[in-house]
Chain A
Amino acid sequence: MKIRRYGIGAVALVAASVLALSGCASSGSDSTSSANTAAIITANGSEPQNPLIPTNTNETGGGKIIDAIFAGLEYYDASGAPQLDVAESIETDDSQTFTIKIKPDLTFTNGDPVDANSFVDAWQYGALLSNEQLNSYFFEDIEGFSYDEDSPLTGLKVVDDLTFTVTLKEARSDFPLRLGYSAFYPLPKSAFADMDAFGQNPVGNGPYKLASDTAWAHNEKIDLVVNDQYDGGRKAQNGGLTIVFYASEDAAYADLLGGNLDVLDAVPSSAFSTYQNDLGDRAVNQPAAIFQSFTIPERLAHFGNDEEGKLRRAAISMAINRPEITDVIFQGTRTPASDFTSPVIDGWSDSLEGADVLAYNPDEAKKLWAQADAISPWGDSTFQIAYNSDGGHAEWVDAVSNSVKNVLGINASGAPYATFAEARTAITDRSIQTAFRTGWQADYPGLFNFLGPLYATNASSNDGDYSNPEFDALLQEGSSTADSATANEDFQKAQEILLKDLPAIPLWYSNVTGGYGETVSNVEFGWNSVPLYYEITKS
């Protein structure tokens, strides 16, 4: 759903991205011999922007904590594959009605049982409009959901203590895949009495729990200790987890080098050229489920849904030297895009038909641009890419603009908006008159999540107002197909349409860049860029 906005050094780190459970069943069971299982791991984070309620936490700062202290029906392992956590089974015949069975005898850390009601009540709470939960849209496919009024989820039915059923408005084959996302976590009975108090001092059922009532030191850190009652696939191999809140990635990185931090999951851009040297084999740089692009709305002059628009979009795409920019500006911490999703997602492909439009090809770009000029001359116009300047985007926007400028011989530049709020407002109310930066971090590891919300007709985050019935049909077909391989084929075909229309110009996938200290080992990063903290051991 959303993207991190990287702080540029000062204080702008307002990460808005979504989390998901991270887990790894295979390597989680045994630890290295010298490891001290009582040692506390320190990791970087940022002050949660919302109370710690799963359905109200939609950014990485709070998400990391939520994932550590709650356990949902499933969790995602390092590769993004869902593994059962609290659920014993999730079954369906038609991808529309699901029967979910929960493992017996599980409790929250305050002793409340984890049962069917823990899930159903939490979901009802999260979906209700008047509760104003930021993640309410996750329940939109469940029968009874309404955006406009308070309306109970009639699709949720408790069968017995440990069984409940979910009925969707229409078939969604990837629904089980979504259930590892934090919006679907259970809540204890005690939470509903005073949700505000719960948000400050949450009680969960995950591998960790808050060390004390005052564990959350606002703007400084949160102390988590191991929850011995947790018995899922994410059993902690260390004595606890302290998440230190940083205002900037630079500060966190300095602490890693200074030996005050064990695990870092975001290397600041000022260290891109040095972190491999600084950290040696303790540096991490691997693709993640983050897709970066810029969107050219069809309402812009010269970029309409016609021959000229398509030629110009293709020309601009081919004028961007992605490998050089990812190499020089990002020092290899981005991977040039070859589709509209991410390499860590099952079904990703680097050989879609028409993907050559994403390759740097100055001659072809010039040719297509000239053909478009023959239809309607470009003149002295400037091609601009809007971005929020509080998020550290200026560098790559400049580089992309220069690339376009140098190849096509037109004026191109960035168009900065001071704040993220201002940029989002201009994009949302459609007053923006330029191309604009767009990015997407997946909520759950599925192709549909990268496509449906962004490019389907009238989809919530379709900020460029793209619409193509063929694309919609393929998407619909894919999401109602039970077999995931067949579904992914549909999604790939849908992307081939996108490669022709280019509603957004794919740029690159953000890698997760991080590192860890000398005293910790067994550090592995999940599909969602968050380290699997529970696996880490410390000597």
Chain B
Amino acid sequence: MEIKVLGPGCSKCQQTEKIVKEAIAEAGISANVEKVTDMMAIAGYGVFGTPAVVINGEVKSVGKIPKKDEIKKWLGGTII
């Protein structure tokens, strides 16, 4: 599973990355988490705000730190 956290490096983006990693660990899933900091790349996803979370190419959340339960739901949803 490919997970990308988009954000130039503000504190919210770092928290998001941390929560995503925790959610993955708790869900017991092996997934590749990549932090995208390049503005051009971020803009390419068509998001209007950061931090944003992209799972397997699909934008899941924009402009906020997602809740851990939410992330787990996304993780579960994409496996099936």
A and B form one complex: no
Q: Which residues of B contact A (CB under 8 A)?
A: none
